[in-house]
Amino acid sequence: MALPFVEHVGIQVVEAAAASSLLALEIQPHHFNSHGVAHGAVAFTLADTGMGAALYTVLDSAESCATIEVKINYFRPVLEGRLECRSELVHRGKTTATLESTLRVGEQLVAKAVGTFAIVLRRQDVAASAG
């Protein structure tokens, strides 16, 4: 699956299996905000993408997902290094799922996020069932 925005940001999907995922990103100068630290949107994008990747491992071929909401807490600034995000499924219902992400640079915890995702039929399956 092509992920143009994810590739643009520089995110690597290290693994995605069994209701979890591990994503990584090497912090580069273009990730910095005006204060010289990685912009909060970098961690947010990593968490949102990681939760989606973890959820996709438990969806069937007719299902897709979309973010409903994400709440993130930032604990430390990210100045350099490899930012890693481990995401795990907390609960899956019929139409929604809840996931958590933990973001670290090395052993240092830098952020945690919780997200709710809608579970929907893929667009081509919706069109076929309406016909």
Q: What is the CATH number of the domain that holds 65?
A: 3.10.129.10
State the chain's mean pLDDT as an integer. Answer: 94
**pLDDT of residue 125 exceeding 70:** no
Q: How many domains does the chain have?
A: 1
58-82 confidence digits (pLDDT tens): 999 999 999 999 999 999 999 999 9
**pLDDT of residue 126 exceeding 60:** no
Contacts of 119 (CB under 8 A, 6+ apart): 55, 59, 63, 64, 65, 92, 93, 94, 95, 96, 97
Dihedral pair phi/psi, residue 5, rounded to 5°: -65, -45
As a whole number, mean pLDDT of residues 121-126 equals 72
pLDDT at 3: 83
**pTM (2 d.p.):** 0.91
pLDDT at 123: 74
Domain extent at residue 121: 4-130
